[in-house]
Amino acid sequence: MAIMSQSGRKFFDGYNVASSNFVYTANGSTGADDGWIAAKGENVVIQVCLATLQSTAASLIYRIEGRFDTVNRAASIYSDKLESTCEIDNIINIVERVKEIRVGARISDVPASPVASPTNFYAGICISEET
């Protein structure tokens, strides 16, 4: 099938993650209603990459969340931990049909005095409709 239309949005564009709480926007928002976008489409794909890891003092955890019309609560769709930089971006196909979707990121394994944090985290979404 051919792609009829495609739209996308960036969640993070080279964001330097320095929080041990999940952040959902490029300005570090952590609220329950932050970072959500409509995810209605036949094909929903998330693209993520950690381009730079300044130190081995911390790794990055990212989580893709969704929510439905019926329950206004976040649910985890997919999560992963990046302990090294990505040579190429990763693609995650979302098969759950959710109303809204967002990506959250946080650092883990933080020592008492972190030397540095994961930097240049990229995450975006592509929503496609087929003919």
* pLDDT tens per residue across all 131 residues of the chain: 566 677 889 999 999 888 888 999 888 889 999 999 998 888 899 999 999 887 666 788 999 999 998 888 999 999 999 888 888 999 999 999 999 999 999 988 665 555 557 788 999 999 888 76
What is the token pair recorded at 79?
A: 């999560």
Query: Would you say residue 65 lies in a domain?
Result: yes
Query: CB count, 10 Å around CB of 90?
Result: 14
Amino acid (1-letter code) at residue 41:
G
Query: Would you say residue 11 lies in a domain?
Result: no
Rounded Cα distance, 61 and 103, in Å: 10
Contacts of 29 (CB under 8 A, 6+ apart): 23, 35
Query: Would you say residue 118 lies in a domain?
Result: no
Query: Would you say residue 54 lies in a domain?
Result: yes
Q: What is the pTM of this model?
A: 0.87
Domain interval for residue 77: 16-112
Query: Would you say residue 33 lies in a domain?
Result: yes
| Domain count of the fold of the chain | 1
DSSP state of 73: S
What confidence score (pLDDT) does residue 48 get? 95
> Which residue bears the tokens 């926007």?
25
